[in-house]
């Protein structure tokens, strides 16, 4: 739990609040569903606010599309894996046996519950600071032209359409301490003689960046 709080960048004054946020409904009545409901609302507001400030000329439809990308379950599950959240979840026996700690929906719900717990304990300003830090690279890489599908998905579909092997991602280097690591990832594809490299504070974001660079070299992006 201490390692998780370091990764989150927030230490709970009441550890039981974090325990509740990590408790799936399969453990019983004391679970994270109410915190998840609250965190979902706060996340939508904070990301909407950040997009409103970042894109001053964007239309409502553009902002809605970008927000949907950032708050969807897949993105939240990625963030959960960056925190290595799965190993800290409290699950009932059935969920444990079925691999619930790896399920995207459970991971995403836990992130929302943690946001709700931070808000209740520390208020909106602290919650905003943490959420924007977690989303820093994702927000920085967004443009109004950012497609609905991420670069990894588009690269995979492009290669499949040409019956080429799927891309291979390799971690070339990891720098920094556990709570502040920087990953260098290579993306290898059969259509290019050399891989593309990218760096980010999470492996998955680095993979997306390297995939975007490959698409650019292939003339797709």
Q: What are phi and psi of 186, to 5 degrees?
A: -105, 140
Rounded Cα distance, 177 and 185, in Å? 17
* Cβ neighbourhood burial of 57 (10 Å; 0-12, 13-18, 19+): exposed
Has residue 157 been placed in a domain?
yes
Domain boundary among 104, 139, 174: 139
Rounded Cα distance, 28 and 13, in Å? 24
Question: Within this chain, do residues 126 and 203 fall inside the same structural domain, yes or no?
Answer: no
Question: Within this chain, do residues 14 and 115 fall inside the same structural domain, yes or no?
Answer: yes
| Residue 179 pLDDT exceeds 70 | no
Question: Within this chain, do residues 117 and 156 fall inside the same structural domain, yes or no?
Answer: no
Q: Are 43 and 108 in contact (CB under 8 A)?
A: no
Q: What is the CATH number for 75? A: 1.10.1520.10
Q: What is the pTM of this model?
A: 0.72
Rounded Cα distance, 94 and 96, in Å? 5
H or E stretch covering 170: strand 168-175
The structural domain count of the chain equals 2
pLDDT number for residue 207: 92
Q: Residue 14 sits in which domain range?
A: 2-139
- Determine the length of the chain: 221
pLDDT tier for residue 124 given thresholds of 50, 70 and 90: very high
pLDDT number for residue 158: 92
Q: Are 63 and 55 in contact (CB under 8 A)?
A: yes
Indicate the average pLDDT of the chain: 92
Catalytic residue at 125? no
Residues facing residue 175 across a β-bridge: 182
Has residue 193 been placed in a domain?
yes
> Which one of the listed residues 112, 150, 186, 196 is annotated catalytic?
112
Has residue 207 been placed in a domain?
yes
Catalytic residue at 112? yes
Question: Within this chain, do residues 90 and 164 fall inside the same structural domain, yes or no?
Answer: no
| Residue 148 pLDDT exceeds 70 | no
Q: What is the CATH number for 175? A: 3.30.160.20
Which residue ranges are tagged as binding site for Mg(2+)?
36, 109, 112
Has residue 146 been placed in a domain?
no
């Amino acid at each position: 739990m201490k390692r998780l709080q370091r990764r989150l960048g927030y230490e709970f004054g009441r550890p039981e609040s974090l325990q509740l946020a990590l408790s799936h409904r399969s453990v019983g009545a004391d679970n994270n569903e109410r915190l998840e409901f609250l965190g979902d609302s706060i996340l939508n507001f904070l990301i909407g606010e950040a997009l409103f400030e970042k894109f001053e000329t964007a239309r409502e439809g553009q902002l809605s599309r970008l927000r949907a990308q950032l708050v969807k379950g897949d993105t939240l599950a990625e963030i959960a894996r960056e925190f290595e959240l799965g190993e800290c979840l409290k699950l009932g026996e059935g969920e444990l046996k079925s691999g619930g700690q790896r399920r995207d929906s459970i991971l995403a719900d836990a992130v929302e519950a943690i946001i709700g717990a931070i808000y209740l304990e520390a208020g909106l300003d602290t919650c905003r600071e943490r959420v924007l830090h977690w989303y820093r690279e994702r927000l920085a890489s967004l443009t109004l032209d950012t497609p609905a599908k991420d670069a990894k998905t588009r690269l995979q579909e492009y290669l499949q359409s040409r019956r080429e092997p799927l891309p291979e991602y390799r971690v070339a280097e990891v720098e920094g301490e556990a709570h502040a690591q920087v990953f260098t990832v290579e993306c290898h594809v059969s259509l290019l003689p050399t891989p593309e490299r990218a760096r980010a504070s999470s492996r998955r974001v680095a993979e997306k960046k390297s995939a975007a660079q490959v698409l650019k070299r292939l003339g797709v992006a």
